[in-house]
Amino acid sequence: MNENNNLIKTTSGRSVSQWLFNPFRFVAGYKALLLGLGIMLISAFIGSLGNTHFDGVLDVHTGMEAPLWYFFAEGVIDWLSLAVPLFFFGLILSSSSLRMIDVFGTQALARWPYLITSIAMLPDANRRFGVYLMARFTTGNSLAVNFTDMVVFGFAIVISTIMAIWMVALMYRAYAVSCNIKGAKAIITFIVSIIGAEALSKSLILLLLQ
């Protein structure tokens, strides 16, 4: 029995790259949902400390101060805006009997790289350099720039970009695994969903602000 299981597991693969880019081979359902919601809550808390808003499925901006629930609500809106259309595409296109909990759970967990983004955006240097840039481009006023702030800001931008790419890769893998959709069908419906979700989440977050 153990030998048999080992053979099946060996062929399934369990490498570091699998854990980094397709953890959904090993984690899905309620476990992924609880992990994802927990990470979303921590990201919201860290985001609230540095006023980092995830105000769109892929968006990261530093901005206004807000209560903790607002930061968490942004994360939940982002997650649901993408998970709902992907679930419907799955229902229409998949020949497998998919479970709602897998689609929503894996999409929640796929947002985990933004925890790292919220940490990278935490230093106050980001906000200061943001104010400098705003002044420079809107009013044309040339404030004195702090070199350290510029380096910290540059580092945060690089980290945020890498994390955004990683998150999109994870979202795609989550969709492919939880709905069992592959190839062009998966890529096209994922792109359509992410564009629609970006617009939907932006609108809902604006409504939340009002």
Contacts to another protein by CB under 8 A: 1, 4-5, 7-9, 11-12, 24-29, 32, 95-99, 102, 106, 177-178, 180
Which lies closer to another protein via its Cβ, residue 146 or residue 180? 180
CB of 182 to another protein, least distance (A): 9
Which lies closer to another protein via its Cβ, residue 12 or residue 203? 12
Distance separating alpha carbons of residues 154 and 146, to the nearest angstrom: 12
CB of 186 to another protein, least distance (A): 12
CB of 4 to another protein, least distance (A): 5
Residues 158/129, Cβ–Cβ less than 8 Å: no
The alpha-carbon radius of gyration of the chain (Å, integer) is: 19
Question: At CB < 8 A and 24+ separation, what contacts does 182-186 make?
Answer: 185/93
Distances (CA, A) of 186 to 6, 82, 92, 193, 198: 31, 14, 12, 10, 18
Which lies closer to another protein via its Cβ, residue 109 or residue 205? 109
CB of 8 to another protein, least distance (A): 6
Which lies closer to another protein via its Cβ, residue 22 or residue 201? 22
Picking from 162, 161, 151, 158, the residue whose alpha carbon sits closest to that of residue 129 is 151
Residue type, 198: E
Alpha carbon 147 to chain centroid, angstroms = 30
Which lies closer to another protein via its Cβ, residue 95 or residue 139? 95
CB of 26 to another protein, least distance (A): 6
Instruction: List CB contacts of 186: < 8 A, sequence separation 6 or more.
Output: 172, 175, 176, 179
